[in-house]
């Protein structure tokens, strides 16, 4: 089976399983979504959603977030991984949005990636999910599944992103990003499937018997 055939199967199966996949991070606007995405690094969405209501009550806008001290932000988000760095980033990006973008979350990759704590993946998620831009955010989970499914050589997340963009139509990228994440959580987990167990892995590689070795991005 060639790569394009595998990609077609992946798209078809995931579209059936996850029609109109919802955004898993709770938010009310572009700013709260940006904050949630920043907080989600090395954390589960469930844990982030447990923390953000208290944060958004006092820092749900760029102005109110900028009005908090780093220590006040840290006190709220402390249960999350990398909390000290994230507290500094949230305080910094809120001030940057106020000073440079009039209080509105910017809507270009360049501007988003210039904000504290915002890398290419975070900017891609915001551009795709909030602003409807054709972007295919690739995190370590999507990187892992793309390698298992033979859609990318898996050397790094940047290469995986390029490979997936070549295989799938831009109008599918938004939903497919979420569909892969949901499937990975529910069926093709890091510990629950080694490339030979879940239904999609078995369909794509019916004769595969050895586990897929994963290359760290």
Model pLDDT, residue 214:
58
Q: Are 3-20+136-204 and 30-129 the same fold in CATH? A: no
Model pLDDT, residue 153:
86
Query: Could you tell me the pLDDT band of residue 217, with boundaries at 50, 70 and 90?
Result: very low
User: Does the pLDDT of residue 119 top 90, yes or no?
Assistant: yes
The pLDDT tens digits for 163-207 are: 999 999 999 999 999 999 999 999 999 889 999 999 999 999 999
CATH no. of 3-20+136-204? 1.10.1670.10
User: Does the pLDDT of residue 160 top 90, yes or no?
Assistant: yes
CA distances from 101 to 30, 88, 114, 162 (A): 13, 19, 12, 30
Catalytic residue among 86, 121, 163, 194: 121
CATH no. of 30-129? 1.10.340.30
Is the pTM value of this prediction over 0.85?
A: yes
Are 61 and 95 a contacting pair, CB within 8 Å? no
Catalytic residue among 29, 45, 86, 139: 139
139 noted as active-site residue: yes
Domain ranges of the chain: 3-20+136-204, 30-129
User: Does the pLDDT of residue 216 top 70, yes or no?
Assistant: no
Model pLDDT, residue 191:
86
Q: Is 77 exposed, middle or buried (0-12, 13-18, 19+ CB in 10 A)?
A: buried
């Amino acid at each position: 089976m060639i790569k394009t055939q595998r990609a077609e199967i992946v798209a078809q199966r995931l579209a059936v399983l996850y029609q109109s996949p919802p955004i898993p991070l709770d938010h009310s606007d572009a700013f709260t979504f940006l904050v949630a995405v920043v907080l989600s690094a090395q954390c589960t969405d469930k844990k982030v959603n447990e923390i953000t209501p208290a944060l958004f009550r006092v820092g749900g806008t760029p102005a109110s977030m900028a009005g908090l001290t780093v220590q006040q932000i840290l006190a709220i988000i402390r249960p999350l991984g990398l909390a000290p760095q994230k507290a500094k980033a949230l305080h910094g990006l809120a001030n940057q949005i106020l000073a440079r973008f009039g209080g509105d979350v910017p809507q270009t990759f360049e501007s988003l990636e210039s904000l504290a704590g915002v890398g290419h993946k975070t900017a891609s998620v915001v551009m795709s999910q909030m602003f409807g831009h054709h972007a295919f955010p690739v995190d370590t989970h999507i990187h892992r599944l793309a390698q298992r499914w033979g859609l990318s050589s898996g050397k790094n997340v940047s290469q995986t992103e390029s490979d997936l963009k070549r295989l799938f139509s831009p109008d599918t990228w938004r939903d497919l990003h979420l569909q892969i994440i949901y499937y990975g959580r529910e069926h093709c987990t890091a510990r629950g499937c080694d490339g030979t167990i879940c239904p999609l892995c078995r369909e794509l590689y019916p004769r595969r018997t050895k586990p897929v070795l994963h290359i760290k991005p």
